[in-house]
Amino acid sequence: MLDRLATIRAAKACVSPVGASALPCDASRMRATDRAGAGAVYCGFTSSAAREWLARLRLATAHCALVAYTIVVGGYDGGLGPVPRCLQRSTCHIAFVDAPSRAAMAAGGTRTGGWALYDLPTPLPFPDSPQRLAHTFKIAASWLFPAAKFVIYLDGKIQLRKASELIARDVRNRTHLPYVVMEHPSQPNGPLAVEDEFEASQKRVNQTEVGAMHARDTADIAAQRALYASEGAFNRMFGMLDAQMLLQNRVGEVGSTDAAVVRRLHAPDVIRWLECVWFNEVVLFSHREQNSFWYAVDELGLRRQVYVVPTKSNRAMDRWTRRNIKQTSDFYVPSRWRHMNAGP
């Protein structure tokens, strides 16, 4: 059984102000390759096959200073959202695909929209849950692309409004913080808190799943919700996000500023430990990654290291759409409206 508390304790020791943790920081524990032992820190990619696949990926993308990536699984044959032309050779757009999705795309003559397709490792992790597979890769960018200076994850069905380099520039002009997320579309007039995310997740499961899958995912959500409530995680604190896009700004240093003694950290270290704890929660509980993001942030005391990009009215959409979809992002067009003009 995965020891989630051991991972959380190790992460806290490395991102807390000096002296605030009962344990010393041991960054080497993140590189553990055996999750079976008691107290092991687990961040994924532990098998020999997974590590070999990861080494090949890192070699192929070592030149990429900016990476935008997505993942397509489950035999999806729809077109990927086209990405604007890269402005620099060091920008890479990578779409991870499983074998059924690659075959379906080829059979249907699907356009890849400027994405470079990269096969997922075999055997696939979580073969009985394509959603969990996709979501764990969504939150493993530190392991996938350690050399990149800026990383953008986006769902395959959405369309960027501008070139990836321009998005990175805009984000850096807004904030120096290492982890950047999108405000949930229902805000500022809708639900806000961590506990509301579970309501939204259950509604989504009810809309999209039936039978054994619905029963399993409903049970996962209920168990996670009960545990978080018992730990005092539900206090109406802000805790919803639009997980269609996640951004990492790995340049510069950050620090915990809520204690007299401050630990200075490189941004990649904060991102790695946050992703490690978040990864564990998605593996152990619901695959709905929104449920556990702010929990991981709060457990590690990293609220001040996460920037939330506010939503705004999308001027590229027609009047009917603006009236019915009140909020959207500066950076992308939501999947339902991808066919509409996505110009800046």
- How does pLDDT run across 192-213, given as a tens digit for each residue? 788 889 998 999 899 989 999 9
Strands 332-333 and 159-160: antiparallel
Question: Mean per-residue pLDDT for 279-308?
Answer: 92
293 burial level (CB within 10 Å; 0-12, 13-18, 19+): buried
CA 151 to chain centre: 10
Q: pLDDT tens-digit profile of 96-121? A: 999 888 888 887 666 677 889 999 99
Q: pLDDT tens-digit profile of 47-87? A: 888 889 999 999 999 999 999 999 999 876 566 777 888 77
SS3 6: helix
Question: Mean per-residue pLDDT for 28-55?
Answer: 74
pLDDT(328) > 70: no
pLDDT of amino acid 97? 93
CA distance 267 to 136: 21
The answer to whether 296 touches 278, Cβ cutoff 8 Å, is yes
Please give the structure tokens belonging to residue 101.
């999705």
Ramachandran region, residue 236 (left: φ > 0; alpha: ψ -120 to 50; beta: rest): left
| pTM reported for the whole predicted model | 0.86
